[in-house]
Amino acid sequence: MEVVLLADARQVARLAADTIEATVAAKPQAVLGLATGSTPLPTYQELIRRHRAGLGPSYDQVRCFTLDEYVGLPPGHQQSYRATIARELTDPLGIPPDRVHGPDPSPEGLASAGERYEQELTAAGGVDIQVLGIGTDGHLAFNEPGSALTSLTRLKTLTAETRQANARFFGSVAAVPRHVLTQGLGTILRARHLLLLATGAAKADAVAAAVEGPLSASCPASVLQLHRHVSVLVDEEAAAGLARREHYREVYAAKPCWQGL
Ligand code: GLP
């Protein structure tokens, strides 16, 4: 695991955008794993800015897979993750909707939705780079504490903490769906490169537990310790709980420039 400490959210966004662009430049048919939540938004805005300026790679051949989706929202709801990712990233990059995949929350297919999504991911050849945020309780995608470390895409019930945290998108806690479909921790581990972004003081405890705490289902993001290619990009506030932060700084400063993330 490589931990990169950066001054602020803007620098996190720049380095994350560089890394995503490098993946697409090296493999025009790359499969991008996309997270929602507010943390990746500056990264997505940076990618869009560069694309509009004619600076980014071509996204003509990429395919995208979202991590998770709410269950129970009317089709096309603005806070569905399908609508969110289209609005915040894929539409502005010119990636057509048929190249953007997400778990299918329609009620009639719910029992098989997880398995079908796993099949879609496998048929696409797997995710090349997976953008991840982290919940204040250490959740990854919607894998709440207690999620099996080998889990695959499935229906989950949100904790009260996560519904409270996401109430800002819905106007009230009561309006936040109780159920979701989410890639499992085992699904996420299959991606070839994991890019975890965390900014702000509210994430400091979760980042410390994920990076330096024990491997435990009680902190789902600690599963990242099992993956061979993880980049954790944190701003100073989110890094505040890391005991080894001076070491991470030294390692990154001494990194050969050809190595990339
Ligand atoms: C949400 C999403 C996660 C996201 C996390 C943190 O509930 N399902 O994918 O990483 O919570 O969100 P934010 O970045 O807004 O803090």
Rounded distance from Cα 36 to ligand 1 centre (Å): 6
d(CA 200, CA 207): 11
Rounded distance from Cα 256 to ligand 1 centre (Å): 32
- Give the tens place of pLDDT for each residue, 191-224: 999 999 999 999 999 999 999 999 999 999 999 9
Q: Quick check: is 261 in a domain?
A: no
Range of the domain at 166: 2-253
Rounded distance from Cα 197 to ligand 1 centre (Å): 10
Q: Quick check: is 191 in a domain?
A: yes
Please tell me if the CB atom of residue 39 comes closer than 6 angstroms to any atom of ligand 1: yes
Q: Which of 21, 46, 104, 144 is catalytic?
A: 144
- Give the tens place of pLDDT for each residue, 79-117: 999 999 999 999 999 999 999 999 999 999 999 999 999
Q: Quick check: is 258 in a domain?
A: no
Q: Quick check: is 90 in a domain?
A: yes
Q: Quick check: is 259 in a domain?
A: no
- Give the tens place of pLDDT for each residue, 117-159: 999 999 999 999 999 999 999 999 999 999 999 999 999 999 9
pLDDT score of 191: 98
The overall average pLDDT reported for the chain is 97
Q: Quick check: is 260 in a domain?
A: no
Q: Quick check: is 180 in a domain?
A: yes
Please tell me if the CB atom of residue 103 comes closer than 6 angstroms to any atom of ligand 1: no
Q: Which of 51, 104, 128, 139 is catalytic?
A: 139
pLDDT score of 260: 87
d(CA 196, CA 131): 6
- Give the tens place of pLDDT for each residue, 173-198: 999 999 999 999 999 999 999 999 99
DSSP string, 84-120: HHIIIIIHHHT--GGGEE-----GGGHHHHHHHHHHH
How far lies 74's CA from each of 77, 84, 110, 186, 219, in Å? 6, 14, 15, 29, 31
Rounded distance from Cα 37 to ligand 1 centre (Å): 4
Please tell me if the CB atom of residue 68 comes closer than 6 angstroms to any atom of ligand 1: yes
pLDDT score of 14: 98
Q: Cα–Cα–Cα angle for 140, 145, 148, nearest 5°? A: 80
pLDDT score of 257: 86
Count the domains in the chain.
1
